[in-house]
Chains A and B, each alone.
Chain A
Amino acid sequence: MLVQSIITNGLAVGAVYALIGITYNVMFSASRVFSFTAGSVGMLGGVFGAILIGQMGMPVIVGFLLTLLLGAILGIVIEFVTVRPVLKSLDQHLYVLSTLAAALMIQQLTAIYFSTDAVPFPRVVPIESGFLDQKIWLPILACVGTIVGLEYLFRHTLVGRAFLAISEDNYAARALGLPEQRLRMTSFALAGMIGVLAGFSSGQLMFASLANGPLLNFYGFVPVALGGMGSNRGAVIGGLLLGLFQQTANYFFGGVFSSVAVFVVFIIALLVRPEGLAGAATARRV
């Protein structure tokens, strides 16, 4: 039972981290900006679901679609308010301040208008819990669905290829006539949807809670660094490994030391492979 618990919960939590990692990546690919709002957007996925379905009594499918829509709007707002104004001076890393400030504002507004305590998240699928409860398989399903969808988008659609072109070299892409600004906004909307999907699918596992914001911001960044910046496959592998390792460390070292154990392994992994597990080493002209 212990091994089963570590594996199932580790994969579920890891899938949430992976989704937040993908949110970071999708924002980063289009703008070269690490938006530290990813965790707060994830937190809002749970909050939106709890309000729309749990408190307002909307049907699950309507609540889910509205949550995705709100996530997309939120992503566009983040791009417009925190990213666009600082793009001209990327080398000064002002985006760290602007995106952290936006994350702080999201947290404060949620505390004021929602709750500082955890709030229950409704059952999404009306079935009794069997061998695996939906709180475990929903985030895993969401993660698998997202990575398959993104692979399809990037490999088989024109818009996806335009995204890739922007992320490879946005000057060249602009020179070819690609609408860089619109594509960036679209990618932030997509990132917002993936972020709220993480919070919505894990609502039963993590509750709708303000505290999930900083937690997801923090642990969601680890798979990005582990998997290689911009690599969604790397983020999924990194996220799942992180979840499994964290749950194992929880059991063997206890809750206080598990975070320490996670970050020790994280630092060692980065020392061994600074480019990340799925990243490619880049040559530097000297």
Chain B
Amino acid sequence: MRITRRKALTGSAAAAATIATGIYKPAIANTDPIQIGYLPAFTGPSSSTGIGIGRGTQLAVDEINAAGGIKGRKIELVMRDTQSEPTKAVNAAVELTRRHKVSAIWGPLNSGETAAAIGNIARENVPMVHPCWVDVLIDVKKYPMAFRNAPSNQQIGGAANHYVVNVLKAKKVAVISDTTGYGTASVDAYVPMLKKLNADVVYSGSVDANNPDLKPELLRMQSGGAEAIMPWSVNAGFLARIINTRAELNWDVPIVGQTTLGSGQTKSLLAKPEYWEKVYPNNFRNVCYDANGKLPPQTAEFVERLKKAKVDYSDTLMWWIACGYDGPRLIVEAMREGGTSAADMTAYLNTKVTAWKGIYGTIAFSAENHNGFLDEGVIMAQANSLKDGAFKLAPGYA
């Protein structure tokens, strides 16, 4: 065949067009980092949680990237500090999903911010994993791509109720809260649960958290024959007043309830350190010392890694770090094994995560249930046993 100049030009143009339009591509792997949105509160009133969770999150991402990332692609956390403000969390969520087009989101890390931002994230069809306890923040119909790697409030209350009724064998129980939304909702939810366990709720009420005198409330509990007090509040002052008043009444009834009962803030407000005896806050089995003072093997090994990476865990709580460590690892596993598209990640989490062993707890999702934390992971701990960010299991647990 004779090659004319016209044929040569046409062929060259066709070849150039083919290369330019991408029909022909050399086999070069994509090495761009995979972006994961991250919405902690590093400042503002919720920052202590954000800072603790943040330490675990950073360690997880450093380890993943040191091990080669996902098929050679590094993980890049696109972080926005929500400043403990729901409106800022919404703005940050919109920015991450629309402008940065992140593949998934870890957080927000507080319920108020998640409640504000979850709708925006769901509308953009971006998978999210959050650790917030408020029950309504998981709904497979409204938010089909939202997953929780922490317990719900139902599980938290359920574990405390189980401990009071079945372990401590208390049949007469007093339930008290502050007048915040969280407090009153907890009383409304947990009192019927206690009654289902055949407990006699001799006192239930909500009190202004700033009321300096709780003696009348505790006297009512005492006259009702309460064998355990269950306070539901995140206000350290309110909880400390309950503990102080119990001591002033020379009453040694156990106090069982919210994790803040075991916080350093609560301890600092006690009139005497020994008042912290027989106080049992919620905690998590995987990050608690057993009766011999030992952590579970995988948590002990995790602590060694924290030490090696020089992550300070003495001024925060181990469960915050563990929760922060598990969140991005769960997302990365879904990306690595399922795929980086939203549909692939969601399908993987819905069907393959059935007994995922995290440091914080074991996670099991299904298409119908995105509350992944298993009930047996939620336990009660001894408030006065805090050492290096972890507590001892409350008496009665094997």
Binary A-proximity of B246-287 (CB < 8 A = 1, otherwise 0): 000000000000000000010011000000000000000000
- The one of A1, A9, A117, A211 in contact with B213, judged by C-beta atoms closer than 8 angstroms, is A9
A117 touching B237, Cβ below 8 Å: yes
**Alpha-carbon distance between A262 and B212 when the two chains are bound, in angstroms:** 16
Q: Which chain A residues border B217 with CB–CB below 8 Å?
A: 250-251, 255
| Chain A residues within 8 Å of B205, by CB | 254-256
Q: A206-B210, A209-B237, A256-B205 are in contact. Are A251 and B216 (CB under 8 A)?
A: yes
CB atoms of A206 and B212 under 8 A apart = yes
Q: Interface on chain B toward A: helix, strand, loop, or mixed SS?
A: mixed
- Report the bound CA distance from A5 to B223 in whole Å: 15
Contact A207 B219 (CB under 8 A): no
For the complex, give the distance between the alpha carbons of A1 and B211 in Å.
Answer: 19
Question: A residues within 8 A CB of B210?
Answer: 206, 209, 211-212, 215
Query: Is A247 an interface residue, CB under 8 A from the partner?
Result: yes
Which has the most chain A C-beta neighbours within 10 Å: B209, B216, B219, B240?
A: B216
| CB-nearest residue of chain B to A259 | B208
Q: Is B220 an interface residue (CB 8 A)?
A: yes
* Total interface residues in chain A, CB < 8 Å: 29
Nearest to A255 among chain B residues (CB) is B207
Contacts of B269 in A (CB 8 A): 118-120, 207
- Is A2's CB under 8 angstroms from B216's CB? yes
Given known contacts A118-B269, A120-B268, A207-B269, is B208 in contact with A2 (CB within 8 Å)? no
Residue-wise, chain B 196-237 has the 8 Å CB interface mask toward A (1 for contact) of: 000000000111111111011101100000000000000111
C-alpha spacing A215/B268, complex, angstroms: 22
Rounded to whole Å, the gap between the CB of A43 and the closest CB of chain B is 11
- Say yes or no: is A18 at the interface (Cβ < 8 Å to chain B): no
Interface residue B72 (Cβ < 8 Å from any Cβ of A): no
A230 to B208, CA, bound (A): 30
With A118-B237, A118-B269, A255-B208 known, 10 other A-B pairs at CB within 8 A are A118-B236, A120-B269, A205-B212, A206-B212, A207-B237, A207-B269, A209-B237, A211-B209, A215-B210, A250-B216
Interface residues of A (CB under 8 A from B): 1-2, 5-6, 9, 12-13, 111, 116-120, 202, 205-207, 209, 211-212, 215, 247, 250-251, 254-256, 258-259
Pick the 3 closest A-B CB pairs, nearest first. A255-B207, A118-B237, A251-B216
